[in-house]
Amino acid sequence: MADHHDDDHHGHSLAAWVMVGIVLVATAVMSLAVVLANVPLFIGGVVLTIIGLVAGKVLALAGHGVDGAVARSDSNLS
């Protein structure tokens, strides 16, 4: 039988949602660029991906990550 791990809030943070949302839009842009054979649009998608990764890290460092100060002070998380 598989071991039970307590990962109730894994990824449930503002930092994670923002990062995943931006990267998801970026991958859609890059996919469209491949279909249209548009190199500048693809590069724009790559840049958007990097922006998403940086935004997620900055928000996590600002306390909006799973173990951040903002998450610990939120009384709605049990």
List the chain pLDDT tens, one digit each, 78 residues: 556 655 556 667 888 899 999 999 999 999 999 999 999 999 999 999 999 999 999 998 988 887 776 656 655 554
pTM of the complete model: 0.75
Q: What's the rounded Cα separation, in Å, for the pair 12 and 66?
A: 7
Alpha-carbon span 52 to 25, nearest angstrom: 9
Q: What is the largest CA-CA distance in the chain?
A: 50
Q: Where are the domains of the chain?
A: 14-68
CA distance 16 to 27: 16
